[in-house]
Structures are given as structure tokens and as C-alpha cells.
């Protein structure tokens, strides 16, 4: 047994780790190149409270740990060892002997770099050498509120956005060029990276991790990932990391039975097992696990400058019964199905993140109806600042798959979301989950003929973009990828050679840039006063019309959606102001793949009261069409601008 100070560790830090409040655990645990006395080397530290013995093995000792036995640090459950004359690049593992004498080779839970799979060893890495260039981005974040700014996120799986063939991945550094340029040109404000934490199986997409502190080696080094994030910030693009604290995979080199006992997953297998996924849930009531996970969230923001986390599968964390067969169900001490440990963990997580990074994004992927997910913890909420609106997504995709004749009976599917649109701070997701094997692509979910599918997808995107809430779109959906997403192959970029796909791509780009330029579409996303129905009850013709308002007096826009397959001439809608209304986008324009050669640039209102408003517009509506209008207080056509 050794004391902490003798190896350059803080007794107080180890105490805080055991208490669940060491929120920068990565500065203590793992493999750190340091100087101890006159010697340079690496200090290893790992939590394994029930191990009989632990040795560091690796390339430096021919995987024979006899001379490199770790020692316990007091009564903390932590083991440590300083090994001189080694440094970055050293490949290592922990050889752990359980109380029963079983020998296990484990990767470092705090490893900052890992071998390329199928290798599973950890690699000593110094993460302090990268020189960041994003000072202006960091200042900009401090000056802006995400609630009142545009947020249009492009969700990316790095292995299949573009690649050179099966398992021939682009590097983070390559992505920092073409991907970031593309996202900038297309008008997205953020990139969301599907999990880049180290994982053994490509097909898990990173959602079953073994290395929570290790950026996957599939795409290069940690410094290359830093370069990708830095490049995003230089171009004004925020970076959100998909983060998976709900479960971890069972691979032998990972966290499962780490010291021969279930220290990360907890002792009750009915609680720990996630049978649907074949994974294990973290023991959220364990204070050391809390230090491990909360520090991990801080780590990605602190060391990698990530701007926010999309927290995966919140519903499965807070519900003890979700995806569990009846024989595996457990109950909390009050007899309910709520996982009270997970709920307290999420509150603590969000409080801690916002303490250190008040400008960050914490986004819950939550399919439940749990209340106050985005309310502050002091008001009884979970403390996130945004939540995915899964209800809106499910209703709308179901509606768009209906034949036009059936839509008149399901009008509520396109209007119900406004009943609860301001109960949380929502993101409207059109994510990878909706285009995986067996679910069809977004384009192919639309009903009707080939041409009608494109028309309806344009309509759907228009409604999505102007509906209250921030936005997220999965890669490939911007040009109407026809096949489902294939994670082992590159996206179907060749489709851009075909007119309808190319024009869909142009439409989405135009829509994206219009969104960014119109404060009415995002300034009051979280404010009921930023939305007004104009025409909500026209189920017979499958039409809805609504307004979005910004903070300015005349800062408003009008969205007109015709979800029927019938054209309508001289359709009348009420508007609040006299004068001219500019047609920002008409989805039936020929330039977007529609049939209209000429779209009016301006429409003048009439002094005729309609739908409770003092003025009205007369518009022609194509089948399956979307129009976005803005009020132009100028004097007519000479004031016209277009979004291209």
C-alpha cells in the first residue's frame, strides 16, 4: 500500500472520487506521462476495489507484469504505479487478478487512445499538445443564447458519410476538409457526430462502447479529432457528440466484471442486464460510477472543446421496466418503476456540466412522457436544455405515409404537436434511427408515385423547418437518399447526378439558408407567443396555415402547407398586416423539381377581413406543396430578394 502523495496524486481527489464528486477524474486516472523526482515516465491509476492484485502489462515489458505490480492507494479502492522510462505510444493493459484467482486482461477505463480493432489494448497518450484556434468561437458562444439562435444540425456517421470502400475510412483530418466545407455551404449550424467513443463492433455505430475516454482509432488520432472540431469552430459550426451513458457492452476487455465483481454495472443482474441490446446498464447509484461518467461528459467539453452532448436513451435510463420482460422487472423503494438513482444522476450530470460549461448544449434523446426534462433541477426538472421531440416525428412520418384520401381522417397528426410544443425546449429530429434497415429512407416513406414522393418530401421539410423547435437531419436525407442507410458503405452521392435528387439537394440548401436568415423561424422557438395558427381546421382539404413570429414588430413569416393531391386556385388566408408578402420558397418551383415555371415574387394583401385578421391573401396551391412567405413592409417588387 502507498500514499497518494508519493506518486503525485491528491488524497483529496481520491476522496472526492469515492464521494462521486471528482468531476475531472481524467486528470488523476488513466495513464499520465509525468516527471516524478528525477525520473520521467508514466503514472497509471485505476479503480478496482475488489481485485486481489493488479499488474501493468504491455509492449514495454513483453506483456509480463511481474516487475510492474500496482499498489493500493490507501483505502480508496484505487491502484497505482509509476513506471519510469516509458512515454506516449506505450501500449498497455491491466492484468487483474480477482479474489477467486481469475486472471483478466482489461483495457484502461480512462484510456485516452486505443488500438485499432480488433486490437483492444490502451495507448499512453499526451493530450496537451494540441494548439486550439477557436477563441473567437468560444467568445461567440458566451454572447449568444441557444434558445434564441438558429440550430440546424447535420447528423453524421463518420464511417459512411464518405469512405474509400468497406473499412477504408476517411480520417478525422480528411473530414475536417470536405465535410466541414460541405456543412458550411449547406447552411447547417451544428454537426452531431454519432458516438466516436471507442467500440469493438462497427455495426454498433459506437452505441456499445468500451473506451469512454478514447476517440475511436478507426478514424485516426485524438489530435486529428481535435483538428476536426477546431476546423468546425473556425467555420462557425458547433459540434455535438452523441453520448451513451445508458449502457456498455460486455466484451471481456471492457467494464464488465472489471475486477471480477460488478463494480460498474451493479450487483443486481435484473437491474444491470439490458436484454434487448445484450449490454449492461451502469449502476447510477454508485458514487465512483458517477465520478466516472460525469467526468467523461466534462472531458469531451474540456479537452476536445465539444459544444454539447446528445444524451442517448434517457427513457431506458429512468424506467426500470423499459425493454425488460416481466420476469426481469424490479421496483424502486417506493414500489414504482422509476429508476430513482438514474434520475438523480441525470440531475447531477446537468448541474455539473452547466456549472463548468454554462454555454453548453445538453440534449435528451427521450421517448417517454417524463415531465420537465428541460426544466432546471431547482424547479424539479432533469436539467437538460433541449429534448428530442419523438412524438412529433412519429406522428408526422405516420401521416406522410398515408394515402391522400386517408389523411382527412388523421388531421390531428399534423396539428397535435402544437398542443405540447412549448412544454419543453424541443429539437425536431429526423435522425439515423428513422432510416435504418427495415424502416425505409425518408423519401421512400412518402406515399404516392416517384414524383409525388419528392413533392411530399419537399413539403414535409418545409413544414419541419418552420414548425417551432430546433432541427436535426441525418446525412443523405438532404438529397432524398432512396435506399435505407447502409452503415458499411458510403452515402449514395451518385444520386446527385439525377435531376430530382439534385434539385432536392438545392431545395434543402435553399431552405436551410432561408431558415438562418429569418429570425421568425428560431428567435421564439421556446415561446408560445412565437406561433399562431391561421388555418388549423381544414381537414377536408388537408391544409394548414400558420405564422411564426420573431422579436421585431413586423418580424413574422407565414407557412402554407397543402398535404392533399389536389391543386387549389385562389385559396384565401388571413394575414395581420396590409401590404406585400414576399414568396421566400415555393416547393413546387421548377428549380426545386416541381412543375411551376413561374412563381410570384410578391403577393399583395387585400383589405378583406379573413380568419379573424384584418387583411387577406389570395394564393394558388399546387398539390403536395409548401410556401413560405414573409411580410415585406417595402413598396413592392423593387424590394424583392431571393434565397438561393
Do residue 118 and residue 237 come from a single domain? no
Do residue 501 and residue 551 come from a single domain? no
As a whole-number percent, the residues of the chain with pLDDT over 70 amount to: 98
Evaluate if pTM is beyond 0.75: yes
Is 144 domain-assigned? no
Peptide bond between residue 118 and the one before it cis (omega within 30 degrees of 0)? yes
CA dihedral 541→563→617→417, nearest 10 degrees, is: 100
**613, 493, 511, 490: which is closest to 559 by C-alpha?**
511
Helix, strand, coil share of the chain (percent; to 5): 30, 25, 45
pLDDT of residue 642: 33
- The helix/strand/coil state of 426 is strand
Q: What is the CATH number of the domain that holds 405?
A: 3.20.20.80
**147, 234, 244: which is closest to 193 by C-alpha?**
244
Is 467 domain-assigned? yes
Torsion angles phi and psi, residue 68, rounded to 5: -135, 55
Instruction: Give 105's strand partners.
Output: 95
**376, 399, 425, 635: which is closest to 528 by C-alpha?**
425
Buried b (16+ CB within 10 A) or exposed e, 293-302: bbbbbbbbbb
223's CB contacts (< 8 A; 6+ apart) are: 127, 129, 130
Domain of 606, in residue numbers: 528-639
DSSP state of 212: E
pLDDT of residue 610: 96
Is 133 domain-assigned? no
Residue pair 513/643 in contact (Cβ under 8 Å)? The answer is yes
How many CB atoms lie under 10 A from the CB of residue 424? 24
Which sequence positions are flagged as catalytic? 312, 365
Residue pair 448/456 in contact (Cβ under 8 Å)? The answer is yes
Is 488 domain-assigned? yes
pLDDT of residue 473: 98
Torsion angles phi and psi, residue 219, rounded to 5: -110, 10
Helix (H) or strand (E) holding 264: none
Do residue 186 and residue 273 come from a single domain? yes
Instruction: Supply 482's cell numbers.
Output: 432512396
Do residue 514 and residue 535 come from a single domain? no
Distance, in Å, from the CA atom of 180 to the CA atom of 469, rounded to the nearest integer, reads: 24
Is 508 domain-assigned? yes
Q: Last residue of a domain, which of 126, 159, 178? A: 126
Q: Last residue of a domain, which of 501, 519, 537? A: 519
Average pLDDT over residues 139-155: 96
Do residue 575 and residue 634 come from a single domain? yes
How many CB atoms lie under 10 A from the CB of residue 308? 26
pLDDT band at 532 (very low <50, low <70, confident <90, very high): very high
Per-residue model confidence as pLDDT tens digits over 159-193: 999 999 888 999 999 999 999 999 999 999 999 99
Distance, in Å, from the CA atom of 211 to the CA atom of 206, rounded to the nearest integer, reads: 10
Q: What is the CATH number of the domain that holds 98?
A: 2.60.40.10
Q: What is the CATH number of the domain that holds 557?
A: 2.60.40.1180
Per-residue model confidence as pLDDT tens digits over 230-242: 999 999 999 999 9
Distance, in Å, from the CA atom of 402 to the CA atom of 447, rounded to the nearest integer, reads: 6
pLDDT band at 640 (very low <50, low <70, confident <90, very high): very low
Do residue 485 and residue 388 come from a single domain? yes
Please report the DSSP string for 279-335 in residue order: EE---TT-HHHHHHHHHHHHHHHHTS---EEEETTHHHHHBTTTT--GGG----TTS
Distance, in Å, from the CA atom of 270 to the CA atom of 280, rounded to the nearest integer, reads: 10
Please report the DSSP string for 574-613 in residue order: EESS-SEEEEEEETTBGGGTSSBS---SEEE-BS--BTTB
Do residue 310 and residue 459 come from a single domain? yes
Is 143 domain-assigned? no
- The helix/strand/coil state of 402 is coil
pLDDT of residue 6: 82
DSSP state of 26: G
Per-residue model confidence as pLDDT tens digits over 52-76: 999 999 999 999 999 999 999 999 9
pLDDT of residue 633: 81
Is 471 domain-assigned? yes
Do residue 410 and residue 453 come from a single domain? yes
Is 141 domain-assigned? no
Amino acid at each position: 500500500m502507498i500514499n497518494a502523495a508519493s506518486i503525485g496524486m491528491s488524497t483529496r481527489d481520491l476522496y472526492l472520487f469515492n464521494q462521486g464528486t471528482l468531476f475531472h477524474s481524467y486528470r488523476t486516472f488513466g495513464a499520465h506521462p509525468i516527471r516524478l523526482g528525477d525520473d520521467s515516465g508514466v503514472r497509471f491509476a485505476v479503480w478496482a476495489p475488489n481485485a486481489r492484485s493488479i499488474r501493468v502489462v504491455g509492449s514495454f515489458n513483453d506483456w509480463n507484469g511481474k516487475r510492474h505490480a500496482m499498489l493500493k492507494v490507501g483505502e480508496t479502492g484505487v491502484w497505482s504505479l509509476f513506471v519510469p522510462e516509458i512515454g506516449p505510444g506505450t501500449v498497455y493493459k491491466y492484468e487483474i487478478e480477482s479474489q477467486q484467482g481469475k486472471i483478466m486482461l482489461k483495457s484502461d477505463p480512462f484510456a485516452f487512445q486505443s488500438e485499432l480493432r480488433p486490437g483492444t489494448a490502451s495507448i499512453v497518450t499526451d493530450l496537451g499538445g494540441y494548439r486550439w484556434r477557436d477563441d473567437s468561437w468560444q467568445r461567440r458562444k458566451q454572447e449568444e443564447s441557444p434558445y434564441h439562435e438558429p440550430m440546424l444540425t447535420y447528423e453524421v456517421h463518420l464511417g459512411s458519410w464518405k469512405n474509400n470502400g468497406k473499412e477504408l475510412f476517411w480520417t478525422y483530418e480528411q473530414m475536417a476538409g470536405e465535410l466541414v466545407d460541405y456543412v458550411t455551404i449547406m447552411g447547417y449550424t451544428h454537426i452531431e457526430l454519432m458516438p466516436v467513443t471507442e467500440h469493438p463492433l462497427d455495426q454498433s455505430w459506437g452505441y456499445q462502447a468500451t473506451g469512454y475516454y478514447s476517440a475511436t482509432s478507426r478514424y485516426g488520432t485524438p489530435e486529428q479529432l481535435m483538428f476536426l472540431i477546431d476546423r468546425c469552430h473556425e467555420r462557425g459550426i458547433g459540434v455535438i457528440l452523441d453520448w451513451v451513458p445508458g449502457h456498455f457492452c460486455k466484451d471481456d476487455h471492457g467494464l464488465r466484471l472489471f475486477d471480477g465483481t460488478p463494480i460498474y454495472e451493479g450487483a443486481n443482474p435484473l437491474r444491470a442486464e439490458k436484454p434487448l441490446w445484450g449490454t449492461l446498464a451502469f449502476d447510477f447509484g454508485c458514487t465512483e460510477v458517477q465520478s466516472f461518467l460525469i467526468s467523461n461528459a466534462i472531458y469531451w467539453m474540456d479537452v476536445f472543446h465539444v459544444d454539447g452532448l446528445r444524451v442517448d436513451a434517457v427513457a431506458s435510463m429512468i424506467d426500470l421496466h423499459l425493454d425488460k420482460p416481466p420476469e426481469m422487472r424490479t421496483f424502486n423503494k417506493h414500489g414504482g418503476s422509476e429508476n430513482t438513482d438514474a434520475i438523480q444522476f441525470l440531475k447531477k450530470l446537468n448541474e455539473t456540466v452547466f456549472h463548468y460549461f454554462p454555454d453548453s448544449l445538453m440534449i435528451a434523446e427521450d421517448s417517454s412522457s417524463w415531465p420537465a426534462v428541460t426544466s432546471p433541477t431547482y424547479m424539479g426538472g432533469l436539467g437538460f436544455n433541449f429534448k428530442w421531440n419523438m412524438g412529433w416525428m412519429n406522428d408526422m412520418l405516420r401521416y406522410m405515409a398515408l394515402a391522400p384520401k386517408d389523411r382527412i381522417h388523421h388531421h390531428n397528426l399534423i396539428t397535435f404537436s402544437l398542443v405540447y410544443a412549448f412544454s419543453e425546449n424541443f429539437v425536431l429530429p429526423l435522425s439515423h434511427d428513422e432510416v435504418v434497415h427495415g424502416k425505409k429512407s425518408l423519401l421512400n416513406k412518402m406515399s404516392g408515385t416517384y414524383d409525388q414522393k419528392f413533392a411530399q418530401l419537399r413539403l414535409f421539410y418545409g413544414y419541419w423547418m418552420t414548425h417551432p423547435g430546433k432541427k436535426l437531419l441525418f446525412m443523405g436525407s438532404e438529397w432524398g437518399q432512396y435506399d435505407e442507410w447502409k452503415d458499411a458503405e458510403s452515402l449514395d452521392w451518385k444520386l446527385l447526378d439525377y435531376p430530382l435528387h439534385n434539385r432536392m439537394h438545392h431545395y434543402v440548401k435553399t431552405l436551410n439558408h432561408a431558415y438562418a436568415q429569418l429570425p421568425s423561424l428560431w428567435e421564439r422557438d421556446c415561446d408560445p407567443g412565437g406561433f399562431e395558427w391561421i388555418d388549423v381546421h381544414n381537414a377536408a382539404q388537408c391544409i394548414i396555415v400558420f405564422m411564426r413570429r420573431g422579436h421585431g414588430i413586423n418580424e413574422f413569416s407565414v407557412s402554407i402547407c397543402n398535404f392533399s393531391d389536389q391543386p387549389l386556385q385562389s385559396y384565401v388566408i388571413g394575414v395581420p398586416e396590409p401590404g406585400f408578402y414576399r414568396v421566400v420558397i415555393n416547393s413546387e418551383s421548377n428549380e426545386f423539381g416541381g412543375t411551376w415555371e413561374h412563381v410570384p415574387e410578391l403577393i399583395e394583401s387585400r383589405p378583406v377581413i379573413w380568419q379573424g385578421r384584418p387583411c387577406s391573401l389570395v394564393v394558388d396551391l399546387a398539390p403536395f406543396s409548401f410556401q413560405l412567405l414573409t411580410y415585406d413592409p417595402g413598396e413592392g417588387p423593387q424590394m424583392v430578394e431571393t434565397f438561393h
